[in-house]
């Protein structure tokens, strides 16, 4: 992942743990990184991790398997991650089209019934921290299985069914229960045209991911550049990732005096810069597992720090502060220890 191409090697015949380990790890890492370590899912409500595993975990796993089967690149994975984000924010929980709750004190950036700033934040955050980074970390953990499919056809069908069930649970738990009974907001019924638009965008993103050139197609111009040293990659990505983690605060209207069009344009430019750097660096012949580790570790730490900013502004229970500090500290210690297991000389096939 985050290299030039994905192969679609058949499922490797290995030990039971080597077969199920990557699946279980990705199912857990996708929601744990994006929700628990970030702080969106707090210790006081940790039970909601179950539907998140069914949606985020299964969604990330299905995306990874599709990219492998199609022999596509990380850019295709990003498009599928965007499709998953649209499904979650527009169709399932409808957070980007329903009036915001929680921190939202103003209808900031809400035009034509869409919370545009929040929606852009969610697209970037969920496609990266739900899909790209968890997949990358899982493939670093199971390098032997990196080039292989993790699901047979039957497993793919089962995971797809579980994803749909999890999406139904998430829809009911948020739109019919939490929104009304916990946050005391009136019921929201999205216009059918909005839902159809969301489904249409999802289909277009999936088709776009499938139509992307194969990752084996070499971009000689991009490959002529050298990737920076891993420490510099990590530092730059941390500097780019931390503000995005805290960017959600603008979506909730914490600073209502800022012109939302300026905020939106700045966010899109920020995302474009990040994508350009990743496209250029990952095309380099020198891009290897140490770079991938730097991307993962610093991306996760940026996410965790951004979550503390959200806690500070939005408030949190003492137990949630303590829980987040302990979990973030444990994750940081584990990432540091895992660094020693990533071999500098390991350069995987460009994929």
**What DSSP string runs through 259-279?**
-HHHHHHHHHHHHHHHHHHHH
Please, where are the H alpha helices in the chain? Answer: 16-31, 49-52, 58-70, 74-86, 116-125, 133-141, 153-171, 192-211, 220-223, 230-251, 260-282, 289-314, 318-339
State residue 252's pLDDT score.
81
How many Å apart are CA 79 and CA 66, to the nearest integer? 12
**Coil, strand, or helix at residue 115?**
strand
State residue 345's pLDDT score.
45
**Coil, strand, or helix at residue 287?**
coil
Are 350 and 292 spatial neighbours (Cβ–Cβ below 8 Å)?
Answer: no
How many residues would you count in the chain?
Answer: 351
Other C-beta atoms closer than 10 Å to the C-beta of 18 total 14
Which sequence spans correspond to the domains of the chain? 16-339
Sign of torsion over alpha carbons 21, 39, 190, 194: negative
How many Å apart are CA 110 and CA 99, to the nearest integer? 8
State residue 102's pLDDT score.
62
State residue 4's pLDDT score.
47
How many Å apart are CA 63 and CA 80, to the nearest integer? 6
Q: pLDDT under 70 in the chain at which residues? A: 1-14, 102-106, 215-224, 343-351
The tokens of 238 are what? 């941390």
**35 CB burial (10 A radius; 0-12, 13-18, 19+):** buried
State residue 350's pLDDT score.
41
């Amino acid at each position: 992942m985050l290299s030039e191409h994905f192969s679609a090697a058949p499922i490797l015949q290995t030990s039971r743990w080597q077969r199920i380990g990557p699946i279980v790890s990705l199912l857990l890492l996708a929601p744990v990184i994006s929700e628990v370590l970030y702080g969106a899912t707090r210790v006081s409500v940790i039970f909601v991790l179950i539907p998140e595993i069914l949606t985020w975990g299964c969604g990330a796993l299905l995306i990874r398997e599709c990219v492998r089967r199609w022999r596509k690149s990380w850019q295709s994975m990003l498009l599928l991650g965007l499709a998953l984000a649209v499904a979650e924010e527009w169709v399932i929980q409808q957070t980007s089209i329903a009036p915001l709750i929680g921190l939202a004190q103003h209808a900031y950036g809400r035009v034509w019934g869409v919370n545009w700033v929040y929606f852009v934040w969610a697209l970037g955050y969920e496609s990266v921290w739900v899909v790209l980074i968890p997949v990358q970390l899982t493939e670093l953990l199971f390098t032997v299985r990196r080039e292989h499919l993790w699901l047979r056809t039957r497993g793919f069908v089962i995971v797809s069914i579980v994803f749909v069930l999890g999406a139904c649970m998430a829809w009911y738990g948020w739109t019919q229960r939490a929104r009304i009974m916990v946050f005391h907001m009136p019921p929201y019924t999205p216009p059918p045209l909005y839902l159809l638009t969301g489904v249409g965008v999802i289909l277009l993103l999936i088709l776009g991911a499938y139509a992307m050139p194969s990752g084996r197609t070499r971009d000689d111009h991009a490959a002529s550049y050298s990737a920076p040293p891993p420490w510099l990659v990590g530092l730059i990505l941390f500097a780019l990732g931390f503000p995005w983690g805290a960017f959600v605060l603008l979506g909730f209207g914490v600073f209502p005096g800022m012109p939302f069009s300026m905020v939106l344009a700045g966010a899109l430019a920020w995302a474009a810069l990040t994508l350009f750097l990743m496209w250029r660096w990952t095309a380099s012949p020198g891009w290897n597992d140490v770079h991938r580790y730097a991307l993962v570790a610093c991306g996760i730490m940026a996410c965790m720090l951004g979550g503390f900013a959200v806690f500070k502004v939005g408030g949190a229970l003492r137990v949630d502060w303590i829980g987040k500090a302990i979990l973030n500290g444990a994750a940081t210690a584990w990432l540091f220890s895992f660094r020693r297991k990533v071999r500098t000389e390991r350069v995987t096939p460009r994929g």
